[in-house]
Chain A
Amino acid sequence: MELAAVIEEIDGYIRKEFLEGDASVELTPSSPLLEWGILNSMNTTRLAAFVSERYDVTVSPKAMRTDNFRTIENVAHMVLELRDRPEA
């Protein structure tokens, strides 16, 4: 799966689950999810569970870092990296 497709799916998940379809939020792949409060600890756990199931990867506690969750692009890159190198 290509990066763009992963970004699109994660974007869709966040809009549906965390923004509850609120179209007024100008969410882009580089929007600061943590700074905007879209990802708090609970939502990050949910997002990690979603990508784990959807892409068959394990998001370990060590992967719960700012550079993996700051933006949708960051999350997508983490997913692809975990899929290619599970120990990352």
Chain B
Amino acid sequence: MFLDWQPHQSKEYDDMLSAVRERLDRPRPPEGGLRELWRHCGELGLLGLCVPAEDGGGGRSALDTAHLIEAFGRGCADTGLVFATSAHQFACAVPISAYAGDEVRRRLLPALCDGSFIAANAMTESEAGSDISAMSARAVRDGDGYVLTGTKSWASNAPEADVFVTYAVTDPTAGFLGVSAFVVERGTAGLSVDGPFEKMGLGTCAAGSVRFEECRVPARNLLGEEGEGSAIFQHSMAWERACLFAGYVGLMDRLLERCVAHARERRQFGRRIADFQAVSHRIADMKLRLEAARMLLYRACFRLDRDEALPMDSALSKLAVSEAAVQAAVDALQIFGSRGYLVSEGLEVVLRDAIPAKLFSGTSEIQHELIAKGLGL
């Protein structure tokens, strides 16, 4: 059982943290500068950490991938960028890597890994969030291709994306197992995108809706086999719920460092505020939640690497990390007092960026359900 990092893994983490701090640590991209930032991420290898090396990626395990995403989340103040690039990697590059045919892999993956392309995962519909069986988008086989019809209501990166991974029903008699997965490229006739939506946080991660109107894609753009969409989606969610949320673990590390430094320096009533147990114990609880969440995340990755992961593993990890991240942001605001309430302090944006962690990739309520169902309840 894994319990700590090897020296070479720690060095890789330290190197990535330094590089991220040097090149990516800014709260928002400059106007029109997202593509440049994306290429920086590609140069650092952050867009294809777990994609096989022959496809242009880093060929890393889930555990090593999460460790480096953790460094990204710790070193980069723009959690929206961490979220956007991770959604690109885990919900798009991962399923393309695992399920696409050779031609699609060769054409798309190197560009997704080096930052030339941005990818969006178009799964959610207005009446079908976590309930895949309610999906209304349809794909009908027509000669050497499929014709897609339907609207996806929420797709991270969609307004900027060059490539979309999407899901549609190919067998209406098979419920949620009648769903298939497809790759659709921008410029395909019948594909249109709305947005970006105005959101409360994750500003760099533009989200929008995606519409398919008699949108014809070649059969080679089918991922896996017909009816395999649900399994492909679960596969990408297992990666996303484990590795994307490693960014939030890094975010919590950064918050903890700031809170410790502030509690040591700030003086009230002639003492450091760290000398008041109300403050020091709050920070101790931040550390406790962080480390517990981190270990659950590592275990989910450990099992993912051994092909032993159950839905409960990533659900436990995602639930622990997201709930701890929101609580850490609230704790930090409290510890910083009125100063923390100032926008210029950069803590309010951390809270706004942490809240969606409990909503995306399945709400906390859905994670509880997955855990309960995994227990046979």
Contacts and interface: CB of A to CB of B under 8 A. Distances in A.
Interface of A: 32-35, 37, 39-42, 44-46, 49-50, 53, 58, 60-62, 64-66, 69-70
Contact of A34 (B176, B235, B374): B176
Interface string B300-313: 00000001110100
* Range class of the B interface residue count: 20 to 34
| Interface residues of chain B: helix, strand, loop or mixed (majority) | helix
Contacts of B131: 40-41
B133 A45 contact: no
19 contacts: A32-B173, A33-B175, A34-B173, A34-B174, A34-B176, A34-B177, A35-B175, A40-B176, A41-B133, A41-B176, A45-B373, A45-B374, A61-B234, A61-B238, A62-B231, A65-B177, A65-B231, A66-B227, A70-B174
A54 to B, nearest CB: 9
A69 B238 CA distance: 21
Interface of B: 130-133, 171, 173-178, 227-228, 230-231, 234-235, 238, 307-309, 311, 369-370, 373-377
A46 B367 CA distance: 14
A34 B178 contact: yes
Contacts of A44: 176-177
Contact of A66 (B174, B235, B308): B174
A60 B304 CA distance: 11
Contact of B177 (A49, A60, A64): A64
A69 B231 CA distance: 13
A40 B230 CA distance: 11
Nearest to A17: B376
A58 B234 CA distance: 16
A65 B132 CA distance: 14
A49 B376 CA distance: 6
